[in-house]
Amino acid sequence: MMSHSSAAKIYLDTNRVISPISPLLFSGFAEHMGRSIYEGIYDPVSPLADERGLRTDVIAALKELNFRAIRYPGGNFVSGYHWLDGVGPRDSRPRRRDLAWQSIETNQFGTNEFIDLCRTLNTEPMLACNLGTGTIDEAAALVEYCNAPTGTQYADLRASHGYTEPHGVKYWCLGNEMDGPWQIGHLDAAEYGKKAREAAKLMRWHDRDIKLVLCGSSSNTMPTFPEWDRMALELCWDQVDYHSLHYYAGNRDNDTASYLALSAEFESYLDTLSGILRYVKAKRRSSHDVYLSWDEWNVWYRTAVPEHMDGDWSEAPHLIEEVYNLEDALVVAQWLNVFLRKSDTLKIACLAQLVNVIAPILTTHDALLKQSIYYPFLLFSRLASGVALDVAVSAPFYSTARFGDMPVVDVAASYDEANQTNAIFIVNRSQTDSLPVELVWQDRVPDHLSAAYQLTGDNPQAANSFENPNRLVAQRVDGPAIEDGRAALTVPPLSFTAIEARWA
């Protein structure tokens, strides 16, 4: 909605519902890559490790972020990974060359350690199977290993490894980025669609309750997008439950105004894929629904260069340890806004990744740093629940080179009837101007604003560091009073504000 005024109005109506918000929108992704698993999560030589070798400080931060599911073990890594390497007695697990990241994989952390981690974090495991060098048989055997009751080969193998009860893994990815020529065992859409369909059949015959995620495009910039998505979906429609998309954002042109308007790109990507889902469903005359899983998303561009992506055949090399600044955090906040606005088709989203590798958390041997992007994820994970509201916004526009005129604010909201809360998320994209904002409740007016948090700063390139860890932190701020169904606040330039309103 266009506005010539220099203030914004945000209209909220608890009847204007987009969709229930899937809790799995607040999920993460951990790959065997760089210092994500080794040194990040599993670091037995750290003074901060527990008796299992898990970093207690990392576990505490991951618990705070409350990832509802974690996708594992890759990523490009999974397309050359044989899961049998990572189970059983640790001293008999092979050291292997990981061809995806030219690193040494010790296999000291594997499927069972991952499941234990998920139980510790109270999160759903989401396992990816290898459809690169792996066979459909190997993928099916992993489902048997994880989910079948004892009495057959792989379930008994699990029991012999100390896990008599099935792990009950519900979410399974049919490979990773198989459209990418960089992928180990890359396939074209027809080849992938057939392989994924056959893998899906076998996997589901082991456990009919599993949910399967098909590989969609690695990015909307791929030459095969969106044809890959249509073809793969047409071949696998009845066998799968979710269709994936990946995207990594960046301010490559040093154009902050456009960078801060990237929600337009995210929405258009989702809209195209939603159109394909509708098309394939109609073409297949199907009553089955497939939803979207944005199972890799984040800012990643400074370290997306060969010297940060080659492990030089070492263990736990420093790979793609992106340092995040304020503008990155504002992009992440908008991305999460988009997840709420598109919650009718988007049901899973995994922040890539968790620790050290393009992550909200960086570690050294004995310290942990929360990066700028930690805070928007935390606030959404904590406050966004119930249903997403279709918010009407009237706001001034600003001009961008990439997207033309864009509203200066990006807004989303949720309403949780059971908890009697309403959360409102506001990004002010202006680099210079504060913006008066009026919240207007059109039906039920909350009794009070229970909490308000703000992440802001005057330099879009400012970042936290181990020396200065609190430069960018979400601060609790005073929420305005609600009077006559309205509340007025001013949001500073370059800011993200999360507000929680409550009834009683």
* Tokens read off for 341: 């606005």
31 touches ligand AHR (CB under 6 A)? yes
239 touches ligand AHR (CB under 6 A)? no
Beta strand segments in 208-329, E:
211-214, 242-249, 291-299
Query: Pick from 31, 113, 18, 117: which is nearest to 67 by CA?
Result: 117
CB of 231 to ligand AHR, least distance (A): 20
Q: With CB under 6 A as the contact rule, which of the stretches 2-10, 37-45, 71-79, 468-476 interacts with ligand AHR?
A: 71-79
d(CA 64, CA 15): 31
* Tokens read off for 202: 């076998």
| CA separation, residue 430 to residues 411, 433, 458, 495 (Å) | 14, 6, 11, 8
Q: Which is nearer to ligand AHR, 75 or 479 (CB)?
A: 75
Q: Which is nearer to ligand AHR, 130 or 394 (CB)?
A: 130
Beta strand segments in 64-183, E:
69-72, 96-98, 103-105, 124-129, 171-174
Q: What is the DSSP string of 302-331?
A: TT-SGGGT--TTBSS-----PPPBHHHHHH
Q: With CB under 6 A as the contact rule, which of the stretches 10-18, 72-80, 265-273, 327-335 interacts with ligand AHR?
A: 72-80
Distance of CA 29 to the CA centre of its chain: 7
317 touches ligand AHR (CB under 6 A)? no
Residue 354, Cβ density class (10 Å: 0-12 exposed, 13-18 middle, ≥19 buried): buried
Query: Pick from 208, 194, 210: which is nearest to 242 by CA?
Result: 210
CB of 34 to ligand AHR, least distance (A): 9
CB of 319 to ligand AHR, least distance (A): 9
Under rule CB under 6 A, how many of the chain's residues touch ligand AHR? 10
* Tokens read off for 280: 């394939």
76 touches ligand AHR (CB under 6 A)? yes
CB of 438 to ligand AHR, least distance (A): 40
CB of 176 to ligand AHR, least distance (A): 5
Q: Which is nearer to ligand AHR, 70 or 261 (CB)?
A: 70
CB of 7 to ligand AHR, least distance (A): 40
Query: Pick from 398, 404, 273, 249: which is nearest to 333 by CA?
Result: 249
d(CA 497, CA 85): 46
Task: Pick the binder of ligand AHR from 43, 105, 144, 177 (CB under 6 A).
Answer: 177
Indicate if 177 belongs to the active site. Answer: yes
176 touches ligand AHR (CB under 6 A)? yes
Q: Among the options 296, 322, 327, 500, which is catalytic?
A: 296
Indicate if 191 belongs to the active site. Answer: no
Q: With CB under 6 A as the contact rule, which of the stretches 69-77, 277-285, 342-350, 384-392 interacts with ligand AHR?
A: 69-77
Task: Pick the binder of ligand AHR from 73, 74, 175, 479 (CB under 6 A).
Answer: 74
Which stretches of the chain bind ligand AHR, using CB under 6 A? 31, 74-76, 176-177, 218, 296, 352-353
Q: Which amino acids are annotated catalytic? A: 177, 296
